Structure 1
Amino acid sequence: MGVEGVMVSYNYSDDGEHANILTVSASGIKFSKRWVLTHGSILSPLKQANIIKNARGKPILNEEFYDNLPEIYVTCEKPESKFPDVYKKVENISRERSLDNDVDFEHSSYQARVSTGRICHVWQCPVLDRCVDYILYSWTIGHRDGDVETQTKLGKALLSVFVLVDLESDNRSLKTLRPLSELLDMVEAPPERGTNIQVHSTPFGCEVFLNSVTRGSICGLVGKRPSLLLTDAATALGSEGGPVFTDGIERRLVGAVVCSVSWWRGEWVGLTLAAPLRAVLAAKLRVPPAAPPRAPPDPRYAPVLGMFLTRNETEQSNASCERAYDSTLLRP
Structure 2
Amino acid sequence: MDIRSVLVKFIYHRDSSGSSGIMINNGYVITTFATIAPFLNQSDSQIISLKKSNQPIETYLKEKFGNLPFFIHYKDEEDGPVSAKRAFLDKCFFSEELCQSTKKIFHYWSADSPDKKEIVNLMYLFIILKIELSNTDFQKDVSRWFENLPKAAFRKGQHLRCMSAALGNENFLDHCSVGIVSNIIGKNDSLIFSDMPLTPGSEGSPVHCDSLCSYPVGIVISSTNWWNNECINFSVIADLSQVLQEFLKPGESISIVNKRRVNNENTKLIDAVESSLFQMYNGLVWGTAILIEKEKGILITNAHVVDGIFDNVIHTIEGPIICDVIYSTDSNISLDIAILKTRKPLGPVYKSINFSKNKLGRGDLVYAAGFPIFKRDTNMGPTITEGCISHIHPHVIKTTCSVYPGASGGAILDQTGGLVAIIVSNVGIMKPKTTYFPKFNMNIPISILQPILENYITTEDVEYLKKISQINVSVWNCFSKL
**Same structural fold, with TM-score higher than 0.5 when normalized by the shorter chain:** yes
Aligned to 1:152: 117
Does the aligned pair in 2 maintain the 1:256–1:277 contact within 8 Å?
yes
Give, as a single letter, the amino acid of the residue that structure 2 aligns with 1:159. Answer: M
Equivalent residue in structure 2 for 1:240, among 184, 203, 212: 203
How far apart in 1 are the matches of 2:4 and 2:139?
Answer: 20
Q: Deviations 1:138-197 (Å, cap 9, x if unpaired)?
A: 112236xxxx54x321x21320100111003687x96x6444434323433552221111
Ranges in structure 1 where 5+ consecutive residues have no aligned partner: 14-20, 81-107, 296-332
Aligned to 1:227: 190
Give 1:256 shift: 0.4
Change (3 A) 1:122 1:264: same
Change (3 A) 1:131 1:237: farther
Percent of pairs with identical residues: 21
Give the 5 Å matches for 1:1-332: 1-13=1-13, 21-47=14-40, 51-56=46-51, 58-62=55-59, 65=63, 68-79=66-77, 111-142=81-112, 149=115, 151-153=116-118, 155-168=119-132, 177-189=139-151, 190-223=153-186, 225-247=188-210, 251-261=214-224, 264=227, 269-286=232-249, 288-293=254-259
Change (3 A) 1:165 1:187: farther
How far apart in 1 are the matches of 2:58 and 2:111?
Answer: 27
Change (3 A) 1:294 1:248: closer
Give 1:202 shift: 0.9
Change (3 A) 1:257 1:227: same
Does the aligned pair in 1 maintain the 2:20–2:203 contact within 8 Å?
yes
Q: Which has the larger radius of gyration?
A: 1
Give, as a single letter, the amino acid of the residue that structure 2 aligns with 1:210. Answer: L
How far apart in 2 are the matches of 1:267 and 1:53?
Answer: 24
Equivalent position SS for 1:62? helix
How far apart in 1 are the matches of 2:96 and 2:142?
Answer: 16
Change (3 A) 1:188 1:152: same
Does the aligned pair in 1 maintain the 2:10–2:36 contact within 8 Å?
no
Does the aligned pair in 2 maintain the 1:262–1:268 contact within 8 Å?
yes
Equivalent position SS for 1:127? helix
How far apart in 2 are the matches of 1:62 and 1:231?
Answer: 34
Change (3 A) 1:211 1:152: same
Change (3 A) 1:142 1:269: closer
Give, as a single letter, the amino acid of the residue that structure 1 aligns with 2:35. Answer: I
Give 1:265 shift: 5.2
Give, as a single letter, the amino acid of the residue that structure 1 aligns with 2:83. Answer: R
Give 1:252 shift: 3.1
How far apart in 2 are the matches of 1:61 and 1:212?
Answer: 31
Change (3 A) 1:8 1:186: farther
Give, as a single letter, the amino acid of the residue that structure 1 aligns with 2:5. Answer: G
Give 1:5 shift: 0.5
Change (3 A) 1:3 1:158: same
Equivalent position SS for 1:53? helix
How far apart in 1 are the matches of 2:5 and 2:134?
Answer: 24
Equivalent position SS for 2:223? strand
Change (3 A) 1:74 1:139: same
Equivalent position SS for 1:253? coil
Moved more, 219-228 or 207-216: 219-228
How far apart in 2 are the matches of 1:194 and 1:5?
Answer: 24
How far apart in 2 are the matches of 1:293 and 1:246?
Answer: 16
Give 1:242 shift: 0.4
How far apart in 2 are the matches of 1:248 and 1:69?
Answer: 41
How far apart in 2 are the matches of 1:34 and 1:68?
Answer: 17
Give 1:67 shift: 6.0
Q: Deviations 1:217-249 (Å, cap 9, x if unpaired)?
A: 111111462110011111010000000001469
Give 1:204 shift: 0.8
Change (3 A) 1:274 1:6: same
Give, as a single letter, the amino acid of the residue that structure 2 aligns with 1:4. Answer: R
TM-score between the two structures when normalised by the length of structure 1: 0.66
User: How many matched pairs?
Assistant: 252
Q: Which has the higher contact order (CA 8 A, sep 6+)?
A: 1
Change (3 A) 1:165 1:66: farther
Divergent runs of 4+, >6 A: none
Aligned to 2:314: none
Aligned to 2:434: none
Give 1:3 shift: 1.3
Equivalent position SS for 2:154? coil
Give, as a single letter, the amino acid of the residue that structure 2 aligns with 1:152. Answer: K
Aligned to 1:105: none
Cα-Cα RMSD: 3.1
Give 1:285 shift: 2.4
Give, as a single letter, the amino acid of the residue that structure 2 aligns with 1:53. Answer: I
Change (3 A) 1:61 1:207: closer
How far apart in 1 are the matches of 2:93 and 2:212?
Answer: 33
The structure whose residues are more often helix, as a share, is: 1
Moved more, 189-198 or 62-71: 62-71
Does the aligned pair in 1 maintain the 2:110–2:226 contact within 8 Å?
no
